[in-house]
Structure 1
Amino acid sequence: MVHDKRADNDSSRWDNIIFSTTDLWDESKWTDAIHLDFEGYDISPHWDDEGNSYVVGSHAWKVAYGIHINRVDLTTGEVLGDWTNLWNGTGGIAPEGPHIFKKDGWYYLMIAEGGTGLLHMETIARSKDLYGPYEPNAANPILTNANTTEYFQAVGHADLFQDAQGQWWGVALAVRSGPEWVTFPMGRETVLYNVTWEAGSWPELQHPVQGEMRGWSLPGIIQNLPGDGPFVDEGDNNIKFRPNTSIPPHFVYWRPPITENYAISPPGHINSLRLKPSSLNLTGIDGNSPGPGSQTFISRRQVDTLFNFAFDLDYTPSAHNEEAGITLFLTQNHHARMGVAMLPLANDSSKLAPHFHFHAISYIPVPDDIVVPVYASWLNKPLTLSLRAVNVTHYAFGAGPADGSVPIQDFAYVGGDIIPWGFTGALVGTYATSNGGNGTTEAYVTNWNYQGWGQVRENWNGTGIY
């Protein structure tokens, strides 16, 4: 973890933690966090042939470049020696993301360099001794999409593994932005490619990374894997929050939730998710800081270039500034939302009425707020709120009566360039807030749907291949 408000040379800025388990699929078997004293990040474990455990990590590069290693007791976090610098990379900014592999009598140290933007790359060095000296591969970088026109960019922070047939594969982080580096709302995603690694030689990683890779045959899809939740491409099919069910495991909160603000099938509202409003709205007090309290906000990840997300909202606000709605969310200071809000009428400020209120915030210019009274024929009825990715660059916010008597009407559009200001990608979800006022009206959500409409994996004359 990085305490990003602390100075780069403040050792308390970094908090590295280790979790371990004897069963990946049993939540009760995971340990509490074990803290490790290291002034840096991107730690990775390594075990030698005698079973000794090590940690290799990236020193805080703004303080001092370098990949460091130390003996560490992984059960206690105790550091068993002095940190030793292994390699500083090939000269690219921010050497980080290290992994050590032992193969054919060599120790291979693979790292990321160039930062996580368009110059991201993967380099490698090797040594006959764990502690070096490490000699770089003359073919570095061994993986990069830098200085290409590929749709996938910022490829790096890679790792290697073998399958059951002994074939080598690689994974890395990448974004779908093209070299324009403007719109990539799903943030950093994992890409897969094949690797050739002959005995005694350097690994050869297939690149540039593209939307369709050729190489080793993929195994068949195994549907009966252990674990909870849907596969990433399954979507959400009309989740009704039935009695005696739980919040789906792939749903995401923003910061630790106040659990009593969420209830499934409460009395009088069977088959719905109740949201108690928080005082904070999605922006919070300053667009960055936590609290006081927590936002009432629950979501799931955008996992498709094109999608439709919608739910039915049963909500009758009564107090000034109460609001509940739908959102495209990255952080408190990068999101767009459209809600039903209790606001003064434009022609009579002494009277309050439900309005559709669209608002966006980002570091770049955003569309103006849109405030439209809820149509008289839609008042006091459940509404369907929708959010669609209409193309690779824009989203549409819409609403309509939940009974389907009128088609969904789009009220606002926003560019996807407001979202790529971090690593983790967009969330789509719902929220309820009093906007700092005294309102306590609860919102009820049901018929939650997320359906992917297509993936854009390559650019072709400005259009996508799906």
Structure 2
Amino acid sequence: MNYKNPVLKGFHPDPSVCKVGGDYYLVTSSFEYFPGIPIFHSKNLVDWEQIGHVLTRESQLPLKRLHSYTVSQGIYAPTIRHHKGRFYIIALNVTTQKNFYVWADRAEGPWSEPVTIDGFAGFDPSLFFDDDGKVYLTASAFPGFGPEGILQAELDIESGQLVSESKLIWEGTGGSSPEGPHLYKINDWYYLLVAEGGTEYGHMVTIARSRNANGQFESSPDNPILSNRSTKLTIQATGHADLIEATDGSWWAVFLGFRPVKSTKVHHLGRETNLAPVEWSEEGWPIIGENGRAKVEHDSKLLPLGNPTPWQQKEEFDNDSLSPVWNFYRNPQKNSWSLTEKKGALTLHGQACSLNDLESPAFIGRRQQHFNCEVSTLMEFIPRNEGEEAGLTIFMNENHHYEIAKTLKDGKSILLFRRCVGSLWKVEKELEYDDSSVVLTVKATAMDFAFSFTKTNGEMELFGRGETSLLSTQVAGGFTGLYFAMYATGNGKVSTAPAHFEYFDYIPGDE
């Protein structure tokens, strides 16, 4: 029986996985979205259920911008490991420029406060617990601070203090940006798994091994052991992998890749999590996928495929907490949202900042996970002052987003459709609209988004369109994927009018 990739659709990059008994746990990067580091559980490596987030408190994940040199800050490339009954997750917060780890006795949490690692100039950190009790911190050297390659040091896991100097243990095979390293001990060999080529079309996975955890590492003669570069395969930019031995003794790799829109060769869903089998040569070297290629479909072998978690199509906001699919953009203002102010509705209070700013807007969204889909929300909003605004946005970052919204302009309540593409910003259409409630809808295809609204009498009207390519990673930059989000703003002042969203419907279509 075959399974299909990606096993986690939409923006779920840099996957890392561990096994505890017959259970698998997986984490991915979350960048500036809060809560941070989504965590998933599976019994078969194919069907994953999100069981929460690792970083759920601002003290664990401060996202206040200190600089603006990149549109993607926050959490990069977490690694999850399990050792002596305890889970550990290590990551880099680019916003604070600190490597740290947290721990928990249960994957569902609660997770500890961060233990910061000082004096280590690396990114994409990983942990390895050796048989002799030593703990190794392995990471990628920051560009501009010496030779590029993989750094390693011994770590005191109780205190977070380094107990040895960091040293360069492998420079990779010569590809650009050696990153995302993981160290393993398999059959008395230490294997060092690395991503090279940049997280773009040239991305690849390479591997080296040594009899000593600190090297000298020899490169596999089969490198790269995974890459879809220079092919027409559906999944591209395959890399940043993590190896796992299944309960039946078979080996697998989780890795990132994106699915470009064929006609444009750009992508907007983000880098996704994929799975491929691993075979070992007689000489003891692994190869991922089908001779180093990742396909949409692979043989599941003896993995116990079951029923996947049902898709959560409609959120009616009738609980006292949000389900794990929802995120804020950066740390939310405490007074910016509520699930109790109006029963059976999500209430947003617009802040002075807007979607264009580097602060945290009133914003609650979920990933776009399908090229073809439709989302809609019923919004009740009566703006009282000029500039008060609420609606539905398709959001890549503060410089690239589309929205359909309601606002007050020249004393009149209007609906608007707006596009922001870098420095190009335009309100494409405006229409006077006096009803307090409106259904806002976005219908997505691989090529474009169609924005509509439905009046209280049930009449739907197409209001505007926007190309998906203008919100793609290749245009917008950064390392994330698109979000569908409800938002509110006072555009320079705190809004006096609350916006109530009574439901959010996400209907997947055929891929």
TM-score relative to the length of structure 1: 0.84
Match of 2:26 in 1: none
Separation in 1 of the partners of 2:177 and 2:448?
A: 33
Equivalent residue in structure 2 for 1:114, among 188, 197, 205: 197
Describe the SS at the equivalent of 2:249: coil
Q: What is the alpha-carbon distance in structure 2 between the residues aligned to residue 300 and residue 52 of structure 1?
A: 40
TM-align CA RMSD: 2.4
User: Which of 217, 234, 249 in structure 1 is aligned with 2:311?
Assistant: 234
Helix, strand or coil for the counterpart of 1:326?
strand
Q: Which amino acid aligns with 2:461?
A: Q
1:276 pairs with 2:349: yes
Q: Count matched residues.
A: 417
Larger Rg: 1
Q: Using the alignment, how far apart are the partners of 1:369 and 1:127 within structure 2? A: 59
Which residue of 348, 360, 363 maps to 2:419?
360
User: Which has the larger displacement, 205-214 or 168-177?
Assistant: 205-214
Query: What residue is the counterpart of 1:255 in the other structure?
Result: 330
SS of the aligned residue for 1:369 comes to strand
Alignment of 1:174-185 (within 5 A): 174-177=257-260, 182-185=265-268
Q: Counterpart amino acid of 2:317?
A: F
- Which piece of structure 1 moves more, 169-178 or 256-265? 256-265
State the TM-score, normalized to the length of structure 2: 0.77
The CA distance in 1 between the partners of 2:320 and 2:174, in whole Å, is 53
In 2, are the aligned partners of 1:168 and 1:194 still within 8 Å (CA)?
A: yes
Q: Which residue of 2 aligns with 1:369?
A: 427
Point out where structure 2 has 5 or more consecutive residues left out of the alignment: 1-30, 32-64, 71-93
Deviation at residue 39 of structure 1 after TM alignment: 0.6
Q: 1:193 aligns with which of 269, 273, 276?
A: 276
Q: Cα offset for 1:200? A: 4.8
Equivalent pair of 1:320/1:437 in contact (CA under 8 Å): no
Confirm or deny: 8 A CA contact 1:235 1:452 kept in the other structure: no
Q: Which residue of 2 aligns with 1:399?
A: 453
2:409 aligned with 1:332, yes or no?
no
Asked if the contact 1:3–1:14 (Cα under 8 Å) also holds between the matched residues in 2, the reply is no
- Letter matched to residue 283 of structure 1: N
1:110-151: per-residue Cα shift (whole Å, max 9, x none)? 101111111111111111111211111111111001111122
Question: Per the alignment, in what secondary structure is the counterpart of residue 299 of structure 2?
Answer: coil
Partner of 1:226: none
Residue type at the aligned position of 1:372: E
- Shift of the 21–137 alpha-carbon distance from structure 1 to 2, 3 Å rule, reads same
Looking at structure 2, the residues matched to 383 and 313 of structure 1 have their Cα atoms a distance apart, in angstroms, of 5
- Does the CA contact (< 8 Å) of 2:353 and 2:493 recur in 1? no
Distance in 1 of aligned mates of 2:506 and 2:392: 13
Amino acid at match of 2:413: P
Q: Secondary structure of 2:298's match? A: coil
Which residue is 1:322 aligned to? 388
How far does residue 435 in structure 1 lie from its aligned partner after superposition? 1.1
- The answer on 1:208 being equivalent to 2:293 is yes
Give the CA deviation at 1:222: 6.0
Within 5 A, what are the aligned runs for 1:300-311?
Answer: 300-311=366-377
Q: What amino acid maps onto 1:246 in structure 2?
A: S
Change (3 A) 1:438 1:133: closer
Letter in 2 for 1:133: Q
The percentage of aligned residue pairs carrying the same residue is 29
Could you tell me which runs of 5 or more consecutive residues in structure 1 were left unpaired when the two chains were aligned.
224-230, 345-351, 456-466
* Cα deviation, residue 330, structure 1: 1.7
Aligned pair 1:59/2:172, yes or no? no
Matched, 1:386 2:441: yes
**Aligned ranges 1:62-101 → 2 under 5 Å:** 62-63=144-145, 64-101=147-184
Give the superposition deviation at 1:307: 1.2
Rounded to whole Å, the distance in 2 between the matches of 1:170 and 1:94 is 21
**Corresponding residue SS for 1:143:** coil
In structure 2, the CA distance between the partners of 1:255 and 1:88, relative to structure 1 (3 Å rule), is same
